[in-house]
Every structure is written in structure tokens, then in C-alpha cells.
Amino acid sequence: MPHSDYNLSGSSAPMKKENSIIEVYSTGGFSTTPKLNAWEKFKDSFRRQEVNELVIEDDISDVEKVAILTANSPLKRTLKSRHLQMISIGGAIGTGLFVASGSRLHTGGPAGVLIGYSLIGSMIYATCQAVGELAVTFPVSGAYLTFCSRFIDPSWGFAISWNYAIGYLIGLPVELVAASMTISYWNPGVNSAAIICIFYVIICSINFFGVRGYAEAEFVFSIIKVVAVVGFIILGIVIICGGGPNHEYLGARYYYNPGAFSNGFKGVCSVFVAAAFSFGSTEMAALAAAETENPRKSIPKATKQVFWRILLFYIVALTIVGLLVPYNDPRLLSATNFADVNASPFVLAIVDAGIKGLPSVLNVVILIAVLSVGNACIYASSRALTSLAQSNQAPKLFAYIDKQGRPLFGIIASCLVGALCFLVATDDDMIIFAWLSAIGGLSSLFTWGSICLCHIRFRYALQAQGRDTTELTYKAQAGVYGSYYGFAIVILVLIAQFWIALYPIGGKPNANDFFMAYLSFPIIFTFYGSHKIWTKNWRLYIRGKDIDIDTGRQMKDLDLLKQEIEEERNLIASKPFVYRVWNFWC
């Protein structure tokens, strides 16, 4: 049933159309709020955002209710294009690239790392294109978390959303511990709890400034990370060619000795999950769609840049690393410890080249990358909790959004869970945080697979309801076939990870290693089964003809929308060839 006819204009009287789904109430009239001083404004900013009341009729399905509630979220659209682009560019540059790639280089070899990261990277590109199309069409609260309930099944949406939220809730304390370990590079005897306290206060404070606080911080963090990676690539090429202080030509030496692969096919498979961890947060720009000033313009630009981010920041950078550091370097073994910067192949490459001072500079970048991921964890988890609450799948408390557009109790909950970082003061801190990391280990893979499936189901619903892609302001460059490809890759990676979890490299089958690698799987299906039992909804999927493909669109007049899209295409077609190529890729 389409829902494009409801009114949010703020009429002073209740409105109700025949066959309408919601009624809207508003107080109307002139404001008599007295002028407030600075302190009063500060206190007033934490009050609930005043919005038109939505009264939803009882004769519609839960899926339709969720679509209406998330489409009318009071989150403020304050993010600009520059924010979204830097969030997209810098979101995936973190410890997964700078540090975790070291352990994968050890287990997979330089060629294995390139194959693993290239395969996952191609899947990420297709996935980001899919979520870009959906987020531009439906810039609603929760984005892909909401889409799962809307296009697949409410129980699957419930499971994915909670798994996503928990993964990022746990991510904050883990990243804070990683930050304290990074500091130990300069001062091995530093008090970890004291350092964590400082970073904890900084990251939490940033998010209490609202989405603009998060975005401005990410804008700065991302610029620093991008400059660092580009600088490393240039420096790496110089060192490989013999231009470093040692004047030693390396070329492809390490591809011959000790070799291009380590541990054969199993070694390549071991790279997949590490690569998925590295690409985590790539989809974050779509989550911000409900808070973006102009999602129709900003999100396509952000998703198009995924190709260049994968090519430059991962494939090129890791190619350079594989030429600079042999996979049998014993120092890489400690890369399995969260953020041991001494095991970062980027740092090792510079140290081996004999360049003084620069390793410390790179460690500062790694520290910034860790804090950036921690900052993103609060943003992602708080928005996920808000979306769940608006979908009636979490306590209503988390649906509270204040006058500054902050999901206040979602942020508070994220900060409270983040306080787990102070467990670093215990004797078993590494064991604790290893298991915390395991909880969200496969979270990104399930999220990406679900995004691809949502896109497939959305395109199927368009066809089933006699409509087509001419009404889409942005279409995924990889098309629906890209989503089929992305979904297939996710399934293959989950199978490969199951094999590695069951038969670990250099070890025998054991429960500890298996659940450390595969804990997310039973957690997700526990959520899924519990929701099925609780709601008694035994339907496995929503039929294409019943999927709501209208609620949440910014422009409800499809004829006018198609006209605007055609005008934009004609304008682009009239531009020079160079401009058209630039517009396609950037």
C-alpha cells in the first residue's frame, strides 16, 4: 500500500484522508517562548525535540509502522557534502589497515593479502553502490538497518540491527584499549587506565556536540589519515627503488624469497575476515542519510569514491607493504594483539629503511585512526539504538532526540558501555577484550550481505509492482547484478571463515579458536529465532508485491521526480567527455 499521501504541514486541526494511515496533530499558533541566556539555552538544548505527533492506525502491519516512524525521525539534517565525503573516505582507514594487515601478511603472504583484500574490496564497492541507491531513495533513520525489516523480514532486521549495535557498542572499549597500547610505543611503562580515561572523555565529549561534532572531528581525522597513506605510498616507492638512507634496491625480492604466498589456499582464506574488519565502517555514510542536508547530491558522491579508496588506500598501499616487509618477519606475529604498533608493517617498513623519527609520526597517525574508529563507534551504535527504538524493537528511551538533534540516551548508553575499557586495569584484560572483539567479528559481513539482499529485494519489488528504475534519482553503478555478486562473496567468505575457525592454521580443532572466530553467527541467529518466537511471525520473507517502496521518499510526486531525473541526465549528456567520466567515477 503506498503511503505518499500523508501530510506533515503542521495544520492546526487533525487531518485524515480516506484510506490514510496516519493522522498528524500540531499545536500551531505563534511562539511565546521568552529569550534565553547562554546557560538556559544549553539546558534547553537537552529537552526533547518538539515534533508533529503521528497517530498510526491499528489496521496496518508492523513493517508499515516501522517505515512511517523511521521516515519521520526528528534527526536534524545538518551534515554537508564535505562531511559525508570525508566520513566515507576516512571511515575505513584504521587499525585494520595499519596494524591488522601485519598478521594477515604473515599468514597469507603478500600475494595472498592482495587477493584477499581485492576480493573483499570488490564486494564492498558493489555493496556501497547498493546502499547508496537505497539511501538516496529512502533517507530514513537507521538506513540499511531499517531496510532489512522493510525489504526482507522484520525478524532478520531485528537480528541484524541488534548485532550491528552491539558490535559498535563493544567496539568503543576495544578501540580505547588499542589507543592506550599505541601510547606505549613511546612510554612502555605508562598507566593504561589513565591514558584511556583521557581518550574516553575526548571521544564522548565530541559526540555530545551532536552530529556536527562527530562530522567535524571525522573531517579532520580523515584528512590526516589520507595524507599519511598517500605520503607512505610515495615514500615506499622511493625505498623500493633504492632511494632510502640504506640505498638498497628491493624490487620484488620478497615475492621470490620467502615467497608470494604463506600457508597456501588456507592462508588466502585467512585474509578474508581481516580484510572485512579493515573495510568496516565503509557503509557509514549511508547511515548518516537521515542527518544529511542534501542526501540526493551528497550520498552518490560519497559512494562513488569507494572505488578510489579501495584502490589507493588498500590495494596500492598493501602492494607497497608486501614489497617492503617479508611475510616471515617474526615481528609480525605480535600484530594479533589489538594495536601493537611495533607489529605494524607500515612502521616496520620505515624502521627497516633506516629513517629516523618518521616511525613516531606514523604512530601518531595510527593513534588518530584508533580514536577516529572509536568516535565512529559512538555515532553508529547510538543511531542504531535510535532506529531500533523508533521501530519498536528497543526500549522507547532510545528514541529520545533532543533539540540539537542528538539521540541523547543512545549516546549515553554508548558511553556507558564504553566504560568497559577500564577493565584494562585487570590481570585478564587481553582475554576479556579478545572475546569482546569476537562478539562483533563477523558483524560487518552479515551487514553487507543484508544490504545486498535488500537491494535485490527492492529491485524485485519495483518489478513486481509494475514500476522501474526510471523513478530512481541514483542507480547503483554495478546494478542489481553487483548485489548478487556481493551477496555471493559474503556467503563464500563465511564458508571460508568457518573452515579456518574449525581448522585453524598451525593448530588443531578446538572450541576456543572456533568461537573466537565465529561467535557472531550464533548470536545473530539467537536474535532471529527469539524474534520469530516472540512475534509468532513465521513468514521467512515479505512478498515483492507487499513491499512498501514509497514511504520515506523525499519527493512523493513520481511524475515530477522522473521529469527532474531526465533533465539532469540530459544536462550531463550535453557536457564534454572528460566531465562525464569525472561525474561517473567521482
Beta carbons of 341 and 181 less than 8 angstroms apart: yes
Q: What is the pLDDT of residue 341?
A: 59
Measure the CA–CA gap between 197 and 210, rounded to whole angstroms.
21
Q: What is the CA radius of gyration of the chain?
A: 24
- Say if residues 411 and 382 touch (Cβ distance below 8 Å): yes
pLDDT over threshold 50, residue 533 = yes
pLDDT score, position 15: 38
pLDDT number for residue 440:
72
Calpha distance 219→205 (Å, rounded) = 16
> Nine-digit cell at 287?
547511515
Q: Which grid cell is 471?
A: 523513478
Q: Which single residue is written with the C-alpha cell 577500564?
A: 422
The number of angstroms, rounded, from the C-alpha of 184 to the middle of its chain's C-alpha atoms is: 28
* Residue, of 17 and 504, whose pLDDT is higher: 504
Above 60 in pLDDT, residue 33? no
Cell 533539540 identifies what position?
Answer: 403
Report the C-alpha gap between 271 and 98 in whole angstroms: 15
Closest C-alpha to 393, from 534, 543, 548: 534
Phi/psi of residue 22, each to 5°? -130, 160
State mean pLDDT over 104-113: 90
CA distance 185 to 165: 31
Structure-block grid coordinates of residue 192: 593504561
Residue 552 neighbours by CB under 8 Å, 6+ apart? 67, 70, 71, 138, 139, 140
DSSP state of 292: B
Q: What is the pLDDT of residue 214?
A: 79
Q: What's the average model confidence in pLDDT over 225-252?
A: 88
Give the tens place of pLDDT for each residue, 285-295: 777 766 777 77
pLDDT mean across residues, the chain = 80
What does the angle CA 372 – CA 378 – CA 384 come to, to the nearest 5 degrees? Answer: 130
8 Å CB contact between 482 and 130: yes
Q: What is the pLDDT of residue 55?
A: 53
Of 496, 96, 513, 516, give the one whose Cα is nearest residue 266. Answer: 496
Nearest to 115 by CA among 104, 131, 129: 104
The one-letter code for the residue type at 101 is S
3-state per-residue secondary structure call for 127-192: HHHHHHHHHHHCCCCCCHHHHHHHHHCHHHHHHHHHHHHHHHHHHHHHHHHHHHHHHCCCCCCCCH
Which three cell numbers, joined as nine digits, stand for 454?
Answer: 535488500
Average pLDDT over residues 130-152: 84
Supply the pLDDT for residue 56. Answer: 54
Instruction: Write down all domains in the chain, each with its CATH number in brackets.
Output: 1-60 (no CATH), 76-555 (1.20.1740.10)
Contact 101, 383 (CB under 8 A): no
Euclidean distance between CA atoms 271 and 511, whole angstroms: 21
| Torsion angle of the four alpha carbons 68, 301, 83, 275, in this order, in degrees rounded to the nearest 10 | 90
Q: How far is CA 537 from CA 138, 406, 528, in A?
A: 25, 33, 11
Quick one: which of 255, 367, 274 has its CA closest to 314? 274
Mean pLDDT: which of 229-233, 433-437, 469-473 is highest?
229-233
Please state, as a whole number, how many other Cβ atoms lie within 10 Å of the Cβ of residue 356: 9
What is the bridge-based pairing of β-strands 22-25 and 53-56?
Answer: antiparallel
Cis before 407? omega within 30: no
**What average pLDDT does this structure show over 556-585?**
78
Confidence at residue 91, expressed as pLDDT on a 0 to 100 scale: 63
3-state secondary structure of 355: coil
pLDDT of residue 532: 93
**pLDDT > 70: percent of the chain:** 84
More confident residue, 321 or 553: 321
Cα–Cα separations (whole angstroms), residue 469 to 299, 473, 550: 18, 9, 13
Task: Give Cα 256 distance to the centre of its chain.
Answer: 37
Average pLDDT over residues 183-198: 80
Residue 53 clears pLDDT 60, i.e. is over it? no
The CA distance from 237 to 198, in Å, is 37
Question: Cβ distance 446 to 421 under 8 Å?
Answer: no
Phi, psi of 208, deg, nearest 5: -80, -5
pLDDT digits (tens, 9 = 90+) for 346-387: 888 888 888 888 888 888 888 888 888 888 888 888 888 988
pLDDT of 339 higher than 60: no
What's the rounded Cα separation, in Å, for the pair 440 and 171? 8
Which of 4-13, 425-434, 438-447 has the weakest average pLDDT? 4-13
pLDDT at 570 over 50: yes
- Beta strand segments in 53-94, E: 53-56
Neighbours of 578 (CB within 10 A): 8
What is Dmax (Cα atoms) for the chain?
Answer: 80
Among 487, 414, 492, CA closest to 164: 414
Q: What is the pLDDT of residues 180-190, one digit of tens each?
A: 878 877 777 77
Quote the CA–CA distance of 497 and 442 in Å, as a whole number: 9
Q: What's the whole-number mean pLDDT along residues 330-341?
A: 62
Closest CA to 497 of 263, 275, 276, 272: 272
Higher pLDDT, 115 or 247: 115
pLDDT, residue 342, reads 64
- Which band of pLDDT confidence, cut at 50, 70 and 90, is reported for residue 54? low
